[in-house]
Amino acid sequence: MPRLRWLTAGESHGPALLCIVDGVPAGLALRAADVDADLARRQRGYGRGGRMKIEHDVVALEAGVRGGETLGSPIGLRIVNRDFANWQGRMGPEPFDAPPEPVTAPRPGHADLAGALKYDRDDLRDVLERASARETAARVAAGAIARQVLRACGVAVRSRVRSIGEVRDPSEPGPEQWVRDGALAARVEASSLRVLDDGAEEAMRAAILAASHDGDTLGGIVEAVAVGVVPGLGTYVQWDRRLDGRLAQAALSIPAIKAVEVGDGWSAAGLRGSAVHDAIGHDGERFTRATNRAGGLEGGVTNGQPLVLRAAMKPISTLRRALPSADLRTHAAVSANTERSDVCAVPAAGVVLEAMLCLTLAGEYLDTFGGDALADTVRNLEGYRARVARR
């Protein structure tokens, strides 16, 4: 069983989002502000909808932390949904005084219809509330804790937007330049779309505005990178323990993510091997690579290079210019249901991808190096680094 486990609960317009994170070692410095910083990053971005004007996500650390340090026991997290106040009589656990108006026009591209058929629901709200991307706020909270574990292990993680619609950011700095704190990292965090190139940001904003005027939505590609990762995480000995497979599943579990690549995944498929694989050298102290087309993973195992994960987000399925649908109850032709939604949430998807990368990597570190106390984990890691350095 993995050492690091976590579960979320809660509906989009319910009272709160909940999360339990189990397996974090004792002695990790953790404050609510550490989590709130990532929750705020998830809420920002040009193209977000009216919901972000209502919510101001902050976490309550309900268990597992005392005096600013983890105890080794499960950590309980709660994020209040402020919008729940506007949904009295339609959401909540108690029986309703009067049945709320059901939602019966499923949205193409959403879980509405498939979920209603699976769970035998007559009101699509019973499906869409949990299937909503609002759930990812709880993931980001859990990921912020995992980020603290990785920071103690010398690993930094950051995301950026590579494209929105047909507009691409051409910037190609080295990962160490923009992932670790510095001028380029500050540029990413200050950008309304988490991009490095000013011209690309301006063109992306124009594309989002045009889609909004048309009642449409836009997707794009995000990149999350981890630097400082030791070689040897993951394994090739069983299919379900290969780290590239675990990262792909983590990325594809994010709502609206439809494709994922590690390193130069898709582009490498059209090249010869001599133009794809990263030649190995040795500088007298350590093994070296001049390139990182593999994205830091070979055979399901990290090789010490920056770990590069990219994900493609489809356009959001809630459109103001609704697509054709069929009524769940009458089967009559109708326009799909329209919920309050974003025009573009690609930057937020990057922050969620960071969280999933942090959770997956932190789990690998804890599985590999153990330790119920953080000091033991770090000591075991340093011993491993010393052994690898002697090779």
Structure tokens at 18: 């909940």
Predicted confidence at residue 72, as pLDDT, reads 98
pLDDT for position 50:
66
Q: Helix, strand or coil for residue 32?
A: helix
* Predicted local distance difference test score (pLDDT) of residue 52: 67
pLDDT score for 54: 75
Say what the pLDDT of residue 51 is.
64
**Per-10-residue mean pLDDT, the chain, length 391:** 95 96 98 97 84 82 98 98 92 93 96 97 97 96 98 98 98 95 96 96 97 95 98 97 98 98 96 96 91 97 98 94 94 90 93 98 97 97 94 80
- Token pair for 128: 């869409």
pLDDT at 339: 79
- Measured CA angle at 352 (ends 46, 174), to 5 deg: 85
Give the span between the Cα atoms of 349 and 187, in whole angstroms: 18
CATH topology of domain 5-389: Chorismate synthase, AroC fold (3.60.150)
Instruction: Determine the 3-state secondary structure of 127 from DSSP.
Output: helix
Give this prediction's pTM.
0.96
Q: Are 377 and 370 in contact (CB under 8 A)?
A: yes
For residues 388 and 390, what is the distance between their CA atoms, to the nearest angstrom? 5
